[in-house]
Amino acid sequence: MQQIINFIIRYKNLLLYILLMIISLAFTIQSHSYHQSRFFNSSSWVAGNIYGFSHSFNTYFDLDDENERLLKENERLRNKLFNTTTSPSVEVDSSVRYTVISGQVIKNSYADPRNYITINRGENDSVSQDMGVITDLGILGIVENTSNKFATVQSILNTKSNINAKIKNTNHFGSLIWDTKTYNTVQLIDIPRLVPLNIGDTIVTGAMSSIFPENIPIGTIKKFDLDISKSFYRIDVNLFNDMTNIKNVYIIKNLDRKEILDLEEATSNE
């Protein structure tokens, strides 16, 4: 007994170091396998308010650019609205499938292998886990953690990200992943070899996802190669979004999501 106590006293620093190292490794590995750690994320009250505070200063510096961008988007949407052939009164029906919540980015990162974006909307604004986040140009990511006033978004620039995507105007779909190399390119895999591809083709979100609506733009094909199995393509996609410069975002809530998930679960249990 005496010897054990002596041993502990003698090596207390080493033991402390090993203990702390195990704690940090546990946190890291646990969040490698599944969602981001529930405790260490910037949607928490303290972190959210620190970023919110600095955001309220920074936001003044690019008001002009942002206004310009919003004006452009309004212009595009109005063009679409005035040129729709069906009159709005015919369309009034009960098939509202998505609601959109607007928000602003208060923290963005794109240099790590696993990037997260923090936005200033949370549970109070009915934002919850697994909602899609887009900008006026294209998709951005999926909500991962929420607090009352803030939420963290798993960016598409994240090795854990895996989003259903397809080639525009076809039904060939694959998965969108990121190889961590550059922040303006993501990879689309699992597109079969027989699909005719051209450089410059547009990639949009697919219909398989219960998170994003179909046909939200992602990017254009930069280059494509066959993968090791020689039967699927591995496509480099140039993102429409400039991931380094994001301010206003839209959070999409799929009202049918619960029903879809319940149904899928019931089917797989049989």
Partner 1 sequence: MNRGIFINIIRFILLVLVQVLVFNRLNFFGFINPMVYIMFLYWYPIKENRAVFIGLSFLLGLSVDFLSDTMAIHAAATTTIAYLRPAIMRFVFGINYEFQSFKLSNTTKAQQFTFLALLILVHHSVYFSMEIFSIANLLLIVKKVLSNGLASLILCLLFSTLFSVKKE
One residue of 105, 106, 116, 151 binding partner 1 per CB under 8 A:
116
Site mask, partner 1, residues 117-136, x = CB under 8 A?
Answer: -x------------------
Nearer to partner 1 by Cβ, of 177 and 204: the residue is: 177
Across-strand partners of 173? 166
Q: Are 36 and 144 a contacting pair, CB within 8 Å? A: yes
Residues 3-42 that bind partner 1 (CB under 8 A): 12-14, 16-17, 20-21, 23-25, 27-28, 31-32, 36-37, 40-42
Residues 149-168 that bind partner 1 (CB under 8 A): 152
Stretch that binds partner 1, among 2-10, 46-54, 164-172, 212-220 (CB under 8 A): 46-54
Neighbours of 130 (CB within 10 A): 15
What is the Cα–Cα distance from 161 to 141, expressed in whole angstroms? 8
Biggest CA–CA distance in the chain, Å, is 89
Q: How far is the CB of 239 from partner 1 (least distance, A)?
A: 14
Q: Are 101 and 250 a contacting pair, CB within 8 Å? A: yes
Distance of CA 166 to CAs 6, 29, 139, 201, 204, Å?
65, 32, 13, 11, 6
Nearer to partner 1 by Cβ, of 41 and 254: the residue is: 41
One residue of 59, 66, 110, 201 binding partner 1 per CB under 8 A:
110
Helix (H) or strand (E) holding 29: helix 12-33
Residue 237 DSSP code: E
Q: Are 152 and 194 a contacting pair, CB within 8 Å? A: no
Q: Are 218 and 239 a contacting pair, CB within 8 Å? A: yes
- Under the criterion CB under 8 A, does residue 244 sit at the interface with partner 1? yes
Nearer to partner 1 by Cβ, of 185 and 220: the residue is: 185
Q: Are 145 and 41 a contacting pair, CB within 8 Å? A: yes
Nearer to partner 1 by Cβ, of 27 and 98: the residue is: 27
Residues 184-243 that bind partner 1 (CB under 8 A): none
Nearer to partner 1 by Cβ, of 51 and 173: the residue is: 51
Nearer to partner 1 by Cβ, of 209 and 241: the residue is: 241
Residue 26 burial class via C-beta count within 10 angstroms: exposed 0-12, middle 13-18, buried 19 and up: exposed
Chain contacts with partner 1 (rule: CB under 8 A): 12-14, 16-17, 20-21, 23-25, 27-28, 31-32, 36-37, 40-42, 44, 46-47, 50-51, 54, 109-116, 118, 152, 182-183, 244
